[in-house]
Structure 1
């Protein structure tokens, strides 16, 4: 059972030598928790805030923490998200049965921009602080302008962050480049 990842599917369990009934017994015994359709997490193996992302990654390796969840992770927001915001490339089917996940579809041509490892051991990814700020501005109609401006202000006040880095990231997203530039002019 040592070959079993922290978040796993029944296929992963089978590959590690466990039968389906043994996984179900593990759930009853409190060793595993079912977090999605056919996806399980070994109890206590992960930070609880990363369980949904790890489970999504077990099903879709491209799963990436984004938007509000990433803002909180990068200390750019004080919101307490109800679930985890996870992006997949547009056209990739969102896994079913995840109660605490809000799925987002991002353009495949820009999906990898700003994507960075969150936890190398578990293969978890999030978007960088700069990409997250850009995404909140891109989706301001969903996220709200207050969220976007607050995130930008907090990003600016963190050590080592320079407007040129954010504008460089925003250059890959032409529709928001000028609006981010305008807000930066006012704030700096």
Structure 2
């Protein structure tokens, strides 16, 4: 996986919605501006062993926004219907190669990836894990992540980035009041 896309949110669907980085802030960045970027995301996170070259990113945007809405606001019929429709698409199927390796295949890998993302989101919202979905405490971040810490008190999507920034800010504020 490259550093181009963030991973580590705890679920595939949560990593996917983070492709709209800094959502709702002036610094918002679209990480899937075109089909090539969508293909790169599938290559990084999907089960396929060969590069995927989708022709459009439109379905990915629709699913991403539906997943975000599902996790952050009361479920509305259009969101529910949209995710159900995408979840019903064919998913990748495994096959064993002559050399004994499993290869994942789909007639349309981009649609199959959308189906996997929708299914993962539906699984998440119907599981006990939903109570552990958190919004990052970073003031400019707001990414969602699955808190898998034992006490369930994780505050940041990434300790290396958001957590480190918060700790530096706290240190500077304390140092400034001492001076």
Alignment TM-score > 0.5, same fold: no
Which structure is richer in relative contact order (CA contacts within 8 A, separation 6 or more)?
Answer: 2
TM-score, normalised by the number of residues in structure 1: 0.24
